Protein backbone atom coordinates (compact mmCIF):
# COMPACT_ATOMS: atom_id res chain seq x y z
CA UNK A 1 0.00 0.00 0.00
CA UNK A 2 0.99 3.67 -0.10
CA UNK A 3 2.31 5.40 2.98
CA UNK A 4 1.90 9.07 3.82
CA UNK A 5 5.16 9.41 5.73
CA UNK A 6 8.41 7.76 6.77
CA UNK A 7 10.51 8.71 9.78
CA UNK A 8 13.82 7.04 8.99
CA UNK A 9 14.91 6.47 12.56
CA UNK A 10 13.38 6.92 15.97
CA UNK A 11 14.60 6.06 19.45
CA UNK A 12 11.24 6.60 21.15
CA UNK A 13 8.60 4.74 19.12
CA UNK A 14 9.72 1.17 19.92
CA UNK A 15 11.08 1.01 23.48
CA UNK A 16 14.71 -0.14 23.55
CA UNK A 17 15.04 -0.44 19.76
CA UNK A 18 15.94 1.80 16.83
CA UNK A 19 12.90 1.94 14.59
CA UNK A 20 11.67 3.32 11.30
CA UNK A 21 8.17 4.77 11.59
CA UNK A 22 5.60 4.55 8.79
CA UNK A 23 2.52 6.77 8.75
CA UNK A 24 -0.75 5.69 7.11
CA UNK A 25 -3.49 8.07 6.03
CA UNK A 26 -7.11 8.08 7.12
CA UNK A 27 -8.92 7.44 10.38
CA UNK A 28 -12.44 6.42 11.31
CA UNK A 29 -12.38 8.55 14.48
CA UNK A 30 -12.26 12.33 14.81
CA UNK A 31 -10.70 12.95 18.21
CA UNK A 32 -10.68 16.74 18.66
CA UNK A 33 -7.21 16.63 20.24
CA UNK A 34 -5.69 14.61 17.36
CA UNK A 35 -2.16 15.88 16.80
CA UNK A 36 -1.90 14.40 13.28
CA UNK A 37 -4.87 16.13 11.63
CA UNK A 38 -3.06 16.29 8.27
CA UNK A 39 -3.33 12.49 8.13
CA UNK A 40 -7.14 12.67 8.27
CA UNK A 41 -7.57 14.54 5.00
CA UNK A 42 -7.09 13.32 1.45
CA UNK A 43 -3.75 14.35 -0.02
CA UNK A 44 -3.61 16.67 -3.01
CA UNK A 45 -0.77 14.61 -4.50
CA UNK A 46 -0.24 10.85 -4.54
CA UNK A 47 1.20 9.42 -1.32
CA UNK A 48 4.98 9.67 -1.37
CA UNK A 49 6.00 6.09 -0.40
CA UNK A 50 4.91 2.78 -1.84
CA UNK A 51 5.64 -0.62 -0.36
CA UNK A 52 8.52 -1.45 -2.72
CA UNK A 53 10.34 1.77 -1.81
CA UNK A 54 9.83 1.07 1.87
CA UNK A 55 11.11 -2.50 1.54
CA UNK A 56 14.19 -1.30 -0.40
CA UNK A 57 14.90 1.20 2.37
CA UNK A 58 14.49 -1.50 5.03
CA UNK A 59 16.79 -3.90 3.13
CA UNK A 60 19.50 -1.23 3.04
CA UNK A 61 19.09 -0.46 6.75
CA UNK A 62 19.28 -4.05 8.00
CA UNK A 63 21.77 -4.20 10.88
CA UNK A 64 21.23 -0.55 11.74
CA UNK A 65 17.49 -0.51 12.34
CA UNK A 66 15.84 -3.10 14.59
CA UNK A 67 12.15 -2.43 14.17
CA UNK A 68 9.37 -0.98 12.07
CA UNK A 69 6.48 0.91 13.67
CA UNK A 70 3.31 1.45 11.66
CA UNK A 71 1.13 4.25 12.94
CA UNK A 72 -1.53 6.61 11.64
CA UNK A 73 -4.13 7.73 11.12
CA UNK A 74 -5.47 4.25 11.72
CA UNK A 75 -3.36 1.60 9.95
CA UNK A 76 -5.97 -1.19 10.18
CA UNK A 77 -8.29 0.69 7.80
CA UNK A 78 -6.03 -0.57 5.00
CA UNK A 79 -6.76 -4.11 3.83
CA UNK A 80 -3.18 -4.43 2.52
CA UNK A 81 -1.69 -3.92 6.00
CA UNK A 82 -1.24 -7.62 6.93
CA UNK A 83 0.58 -8.40 3.67
CA UNK A 84 2.84 -5.37 4.07
CA UNK A 85 3.69 -6.20 7.68
CA UNK A 86 4.45 -9.81 6.67
CA UNK A 87 7.02 -8.51 4.15
CA UNK A 88 8.66 -6.34 6.82
CA UNK A 89 8.73 -9.22 9.31
CA UNK A 90 10.27 -11.49 6.65
CA UNK A 91 13.16 -9.01 6.38
CA UNK A 92 13.92 -9.77 10.03
CA UNK A 93 12.45 -6.67 11.63
CA UNK A 94 10.52 -6.42 14.86
CA UNK A 95 7.05 -5.11 14.00
CA UNK A 96 5.00 -2.73 16.13
CA UNK A 97 1.46 -1.60 15.34
CA UNK A 98 -0.19 1.50 16.79
CA UNK A 99 -3.98 1.21 16.61
CA UNK A 100 -7.24 2.55 17.97
CA UNK A 101 -8.48 -1.05 18.14
CA UNK A 102 -11.39 -0.65 15.72
CA UNK A 103 -10.53 -3.64 13.51
CA UNK A 104 -10.39 -6.62 15.87
CA UNK A 105 -10.56 -9.27 13.13
CA UNK A 106 -7.45 -7.91 11.43
CA UNK A 107 -5.68 -7.63 14.78
CA UNK A 108 -6.59 -11.21 15.66
CA UNK A 109 -5.27 -12.47 12.33
CA UNK A 110 -1.99 -10.60 12.78
CA UNK A 111 -1.60 -12.01 16.30
CA UNK A 112 -2.39 -15.56 15.17
CA UNK A 113 0.13 -15.34 12.34
CA UNK A 114 2.84 -14.15 14.74
CA UNK A 115 3.53 -11.04 12.68
CA UNK A 116 3.35 -8.56 15.55
CA UNK A 117 5.95 -8.15 18.28
CA UNK A 118 4.40 -5.13 19.95
CA UNK A 119 1.00 -3.45 19.89
CA UNK A 120 0.21 -0.04 21.35
CA UNK A 121 -3.54 0.48 21.54
CA UNK A 122 -5.15 3.79 22.38
CA UNK A 123 -8.04 3.64 24.79
CA UNK A 124 -9.77 6.92 24.20
CA UNK A 125 -12.21 6.92 27.11
CA UNK A 126 -13.81 4.64 29.71
CA UNK A 127 -15.09 1.64 27.75
CA UNK A 128 -18.65 2.85 27.36
CA UNK A 129 -20.20 3.77 24.00
CA UNK A 130 -21.46 7.19 25.11
CA UNK A 131 -18.08 8.13 26.58
CA UNK A 132 -16.33 6.97 23.43
CA UNK A 133 -18.73 9.04 21.32
CA UNK A 134 -17.96 12.11 23.44
CA UNK A 135 -14.21 11.72 22.99
CA UNK A 136 -13.92 10.35 19.44
CA UNK A 137 -16.87 12.33 18.04
CA UNK A 138 -17.22 9.91 15.14
CA UNK A 139 -17.46 6.23 16.08
CA UNK A 140 -19.95 3.60 14.95
CA UNK A 141 -21.38 0.95 17.26
CA UNK A 142 -19.40 -1.64 15.26
CA UNK A 143 -16.19 0.28 15.84
CA UNK A 144 -16.94 0.40 19.55
CA UNK A 145 -17.58 -3.36 19.78
CA UNK A 146 -14.31 -3.88 17.92
CA UNK A 147 -12.51 -1.70 20.45
CA UNK A 148 -13.80 -3.93 23.26
CA UNK A 149 -12.80 -7.09 21.39
CA UNK A 150 -9.33 -5.72 20.65
CA UNK A 151 -8.76 -4.96 24.33
CA UNK A 152 -9.67 -8.55 25.24
CA UNK A 153 -7.41 -9.94 22.50
CA UNK A 154 -4.52 -7.83 23.71
CA UNK A 155 -5.03 -8.67 27.37
CA UNK A 156 -4.54 -12.32 26.38
CA UNK A 157 -1.77 -11.80 23.79
CA UNK A 158 1.72 -13.15 24.45
CA UNK A 159 3.59 -10.21 22.93
CA UNK A 160 4.51 -6.77 24.26
CA UNK A 161 1.30 -4.78 24.70
CA UNK A 162 0.86 -1.19 25.78
CA UNK A 163 -2.47 0.51 26.33
CA UNK A 164 -2.38 4.27 26.31
CA UNK A 165 -4.62 7.27 26.75
CA UNK A 166 -4.01 10.85 25.73
CA UNK A 167 -5.26 12.63 28.83
CA UNK A 168 -7.17 15.80 28.03
CA UNK A 169 -8.74 18.12 30.63
CA UNK A 170 -12.52 18.50 30.07
CA UNK A 171 -12.61 15.09 28.34
CA UNK A 172 -11.01 12.99 31.09
CA UNK A 173 -11.22 13.32 34.84
CA UNK A 174 -9.56 11.16 37.48
CA UNK A 175 -12.55 8.79 37.67
CA UNK A 176 -12.41 8.24 33.89
CA UNK A 177 -8.71 7.35 33.96
CA UNK A 178 -9.15 5.01 36.91
CA UNK A 179 -12.12 3.36 35.15
CA UNK A 180 -9.91 2.64 32.12
CA UNK A 181 -7.15 1.18 34.31
CA UNK A 182 -9.73 -0.97 36.10
CA UNK A 183 -11.08 -2.22 32.75
CA UNK A 184 -7.60 -3.35 31.64
CA UNK A 185 -6.80 -4.87 35.05
CA UNK A 186 -3.73 -7.12 34.83
CA UNK A 187 -2.35 -5.40 31.71
CA UNK A 188 1.44 -5.16 31.29
CA UNK A 189 1.64 -1.46 30.56
CA UNK A 190 -0.61 1.58 30.68
CA UNK A 191 0.79 4.88 29.42
CA UNK A 192 -0.81 8.21 30.19
CA UNK A 193 0.16 10.51 27.38
CA UNK A 194 0.27 14.20 28.13
CA UNK A 195 -1.99 16.26 25.88
CA UNK A 196 -0.17 18.98 23.94
CA UNK A 197 -2.26 21.83 22.54
CA UNK A 198 0.32 22.73 19.83
CA UNK A 199 -1.56 21.12 16.92
CA UNK A 200 -5.14 19.85 17.32
CA UNK A 201 -7.85 18.75 14.92
CA UNK A 202 -10.37 21.02 16.66
CA UNK A 203 -8.74 24.47 16.90
CA UNK A 204 -10.68 25.09 20.12
CA UNK A 205 -8.52 22.49 21.84
CA UNK A 206 -5.39 24.54 21.24
CA UNK A 207 -6.58 26.78 24.10
CA UNK A 208 -6.90 24.00 26.66
CA UNK A 209 -4.15 23.90 29.26
CA UNK A 210 -2.84 20.35 29.83
CA UNK A 211 -2.83 18.78 33.26
CA UNK A 212 0.27 19.71 35.28
CA UNK A 213 2.97 17.10 35.87
CA UNK A 214 1.77 16.80 39.48
CA UNK A 215 -1.78 16.13 38.30
CA UNK A 216 -0.52 13.53 35.80
CA UNK A 217 1.43 11.81 38.59
CA UNK A 218 -1.70 11.71 40.73
CA UNK A 219 -3.63 10.14 37.83
CA UNK A 220 -0.88 7.53 37.36
CA UNK A 221 -1.05 6.69 41.09
CA UNK A 222 -4.78 5.94 40.73
CA UNK A 223 -3.98 3.42 37.97
CA UNK A 224 -1.13 1.58 39.72
CA UNK A 225 -3.30 -0.83 41.74
CA UNK A 226 -4.66 -2.31 38.47
CA UNK A 227 -1.80 -2.41 35.93
CA UNK A 228 1.73 -3.83 36.22
CA UNK A 229 3.47 -0.73 34.92
CA UNK A 230 2.06 2.77 34.57
CA UNK A 231 4.08 5.53 32.93
CA UNK A 232 3.63 9.12 31.82
CA UNK A 233 4.69 10.15 28.34
CA UNK A 234 5.36 13.81 27.71
CA UNK A 235 6.48 14.23 24.10
S1 LIG B 1 -6.06 10.68 17.61
FE2 LIG B 1 -8.09 9.92 17.01
S3 LIG B 1 -8.56 10.93 15.04
FE4 LIG B 1 -6.33 11.11 15.38
S5 LIG B 1 -5.42 9.35 14.35
FE6 LIG B 1 -5.74 8.73 16.50
S7 LIG B 1 -7.77 7.75 16.55
FE8 LIG B 1 -7.61 8.92 14.61
Domains in the chain with CATH codes = 2-233 (3.20.20.70)
Q: Does 2 sit in the ligand 1 pocket, CB within 6 Å?
A: no
| Ligand 1 atom at minimal distance to the Cα of residue 27 | 8
Which pLDDT value is given to residue 30?
96
CA distance 186 to 6: 34
- The kind and range of the H/E element at 55 are helix 51-60
Q: Tell me how far the alpha carbon of residue 30 lies from the centroid of ligand 1, in angstroms.
A: 6
Q: Tell me how far the alpha carbon of residue 73 lies from the centroid of ligand 1, in angstroms.
A: 6
Q: Tell me how far the alpha carbon of residue 31 lies from the centroid of ligand 1, in angstroms.
A: 6
Which pLDDT value is given to residue 41?
84
Q: What's this model's pTM, rounded to 2 decimal places? A: 0.96
What SS3 class is residue 76? helix
- Nearest by Cα to 187 from 164, 216, 215: 164
Helices vs strands, H then E, count in the chain: 7, 10
Q: What is the pLDDT along the chain (235 residues), one digit of tens a residue?
A: 999 999 999 999 999 999 999 999 999 999 999 999 999 888 878 888 999 999 999 999 999 999 999 999 999 999 999 999 999 999 999 999 999 999 999 999 999 999 999 999 999 999 999 999 999 999 999 999 999 999 999 999 999 999 999 999 999 999 999 999 999 999 999 999 999 998 999 999 999 999 999 999 999 999 999 999 999 998 7
Q: Does 32 sit in the ligand 1 pocket, CB within 6 Å?
A: no
Q: Which of 26, 100, 137, 172 for a ligand 1 pocket mutation test, highest count of atoms within 8 Å of Cβ?
A: 100
Which pLDDT value is given to residue 43?
81
Tell me which residue has its CA closest to atom 2 in ligand 1.
31
CA distance 206 to 116: 35
Are 66 and 56 within 8 A, CB to CB? no
Q: How far is C-alpha 125 from the chain's CA centre?
A: 14
Task: Name the maximum alpha-carbon separation found in the chain.
Answer: 49
- Nearest by Cα to 192 from 183, 204, 180: 180
Which pLDDT value is given to residue 47?
86
Tell me which residue has its CA closest to atom 5 in ligand 1.
73
Give the CA radius of gyration of the chain.
17
| Ligand 1 atom at minimal distance to the Cα of residue 136 | 2
Angle made by CA atoms 28, 115, 29, in degrees to the nearest 5? 10
Amino acid sequence: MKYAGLLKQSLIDYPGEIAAVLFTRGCNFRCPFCHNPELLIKPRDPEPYDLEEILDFLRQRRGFLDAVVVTGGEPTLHAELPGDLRCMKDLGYLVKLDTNGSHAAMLEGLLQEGILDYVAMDIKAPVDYKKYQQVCRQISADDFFNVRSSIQLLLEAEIAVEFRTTVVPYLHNAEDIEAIAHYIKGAQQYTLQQFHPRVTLDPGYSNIAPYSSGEMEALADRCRPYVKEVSILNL
